Structure formats: C-alpha cells, structure tokens
A and B are shown apart, each in its own frame.
Chain A
Amino acid sequence: MAAQNDEDLALSRRAAAGDSAAFAALVKRYERPLRAFLVRMGAVEIADDIAQDAFLKAWRAAGQYDGSARYSTWLTSIAWRCRLDELRRRPQPAPQADLRENPNAAEVSDMLARLSENERASLVLCDGHGWTHQEAAELLGLPLGTLKSTVARAKAKCREMWSGTGDD
C-alpha cells in the first residue's frame, strides 16, 4: 500500500510538472473505482461527466497531492465536491443499475435507492471499496462515530430488504 502511495505521489508530481503521460497512468489506475462509486451514487451519464471533471481538477491541483492520504481518497474527495456542485445545478436522478458490469446491480441499486445520500456513500465506500471508516468519515465530513453508525444503519436496512422482511 505504501509502495502504491509512493508511486502515485511520484506520478502526481510528474503530472504537476506537466507530464500528461504520468497523469494518464493515474487515470487508467483510478477511473474504474471512481466511476463505479459515482455510478452507485447517481445516473451513469452524470457519473462519467463528474469523473471527467474530477480528473481535470486533479490535473490542475496535482501539485497539492502530498501523499499523506491514498491517491484514491484524495481523488474521490475532489469527485465528491464536483458531485455536490452538480447536484446543486441539476436535480438528482435515482441510482441506476449497470447490468453490464455486475449481475447483482439491479437488486443492489434498488436497495441503495432507498438509503439516504450519506448512508449510500458510506456503505459503498466501506463495504464495497475497502475504505477505512476514518477515510469515509473525512470524505463525508462526519464524526467517526456517526459514520460508523451510518454504515451499520445502512447495512441493517439493506439486510432487511434482502431478507424480504422490509416494508414492501
């Protein structure tokens, strides 16, 4: 993990110096998890627009990445702010299933659609993307304890829906 961080830091520094090939390597490495996260948070078309916007901002701010956090965490925090800006401009579409990439997508998207914004984001990041609670708490601007209870609540709601004992 530390080696990956060092490599990302080196690539980011090269990008800050104007090396677009180094930045392309970062885009190749992180477009998959970033877009997957954004797809889980909203419509597929908007997710790609936000991801592109986030990468462009990451390119402009490449010199600000200091390696203290994982590159994916830093990048996702940029994308999260882009998403919040986008939501202020456009009404939020319901999360959609991307059946090409995951056969369970429809069922899970249906579950996620019933969660609040923070519940959805914290569950996807912590249970799906392997983020620590601390990382997710920083991204969402929540106290650590609140984040932990948000994840637990989201998971309990999903479990209830999955076992078929939900309201509908």
Chain B
Amino acid sequence: MTDEFDDFLAQALAPPERDADRAFVARVQSQIRLDEHLRAERRRMLSMLAIQVLGIAAIAAAVFWLLRSPEIAEFAADSPAILLTMLLAAFSFAVLLFSTGPSPGRSRASFSIA
C-alpha cells in the first residue's frame, strides 16, 4: 500500500507534462517591455528635473547678484513695481522655456505592447 500511495502522491504532485504556455510567455515578455519602458521614462524624467532645478537655481543666483548692485538697488527703491514686473516677466519666460522642452508624450506614443 505504501508503494501505491507513494506513486500516487508523486504522480499527483508532479508538474503536469505539457508544452510551454506560449500565451503566458508572451504576457511575461510584454510585462518586461512595459517595465523597461517605464524605467527608461523615469530616468529621463529625473534627468529633466535635475536640469530644470539647475536652471532655476542659476536664474535665482543671477537675480540675486543683480539686486546686489547699487544701481539696481537704487532703481528698485525708486520704482519697485517696474522691477517686480520685470522679474515676473523673466520668471514667465523661464517657465515657458522649460515647459517647451522634449515632450514625454513623444516616446510614449512610439511605445506599444506587442
């Protein structure tokens, strides 16, 4: 009885004899492609963010440096509204410049899951 039971158990618990499940393999490959795409996109976004942070820091440093000069300080004291308008215009220009960088939608559009 022991032998019969052992045979039964080993046979019942063994992985089934069949060919590879092509649909499953395709699903895994598709998931891997999607994962690779998302990782590449994440890397690209991070590098863009780093560039933008550096750009903003450079602009802020330049503005700070300009405001320290006596002529600008005098001008600011005389007409703060004009200076504020100029700063806002410069900031708007910077935002416009960064927002028209390489679009993430372009690479997304070229990606498709097979």
Interface residues of A (CB under 8 A from B): 20, 23-24, 27-29, 31-33, 35-37, 40, 48, 51-52, 55-56, 59-60, 101-102, 104-105, 107-108, 123-124, 127-129, 155, 158-159, 162-163
Interface contact A20-B25, CB-CB below 8 Å: no
> Is there contact, CB below 8 Å, between A23 and B12?
no
User: Is A32 a contact of B9 with CB atoms below 8 Å?
Assistant: no
Q: Please give, as numbers and ranges, the residues of chain B lying within 8 Å of A124 by CB-CB distance.
A: 13
| CB closest chain-A residue, reference B18 | A32
Among B6, B12, B18, B29: residue with most chain A CB under 10 A: B12
- Count of CB-CB pairs between chains A and B under 8 Å: 88
Chain A's closest residue to B20 (CB) is A28
Q: Do A101 and B10 touch across chains, with their CB atoms under 8 A apart? A: no
Cβ contact within 8 Å between A108 and B24: no
State whether A128 and B25 are in contact (beta carbons under 8 Å apart), knowing that A32-B18, A102-B16, A162-B5 are contacts in the complex: no
Residues A20 and B33 in contact in the complex (CB < 8 Å), given A31-B21, A32-B20 = yes
In the bound assembly, the distance between CA atoms of A28 and B11 in angstroms comes to: 22
Q: What's the dominant secondary structure at chain A's contact region?
A: helix
Q: Which residue of B lies closest to A162 (CB)?
A: B5
For chain B, which range describes its interface: under 10, 10 to 19, 20 to 34, or 35 or more residues?
A: 20 to 34
Binary contact track B4-37/A, C-beta < 8 Å → 1, others 0: 0110111111111010110011011101110100
Tell me if B109 counts as interface (CB < 8 A to partner A).
no
A25 shortest CB reach to chain B, Å: 9
Using CB atoms and an 8 Å cutoff, list the residues of chain B in contact with chain A. 1-2, 5-6, 8-16, 18, 20-21, 24-25, 27-29, 31-33, 35
B25 touches A31 (CB 8 A): yes
* Closest chain A residue to B25, Cβ basis: A27
Q: Apart from A32-B15, A36-B14, A56-B31, what 17 extra A-B contacts exist at CB < 8 Å?
A: A20-B29, A24-B29, A27-B29, A28-B25, A51-B24, A56-B28, A101-B18, A102-B16, A104-B8, A123-B9, A124-B13, A127-B9, A128-B9, A128-B10, A128-B15, A129-B14, A163-B5
Across-interface contacts of B12 in A (CB, < 8 A): 102, 104-105, 107-108, 128
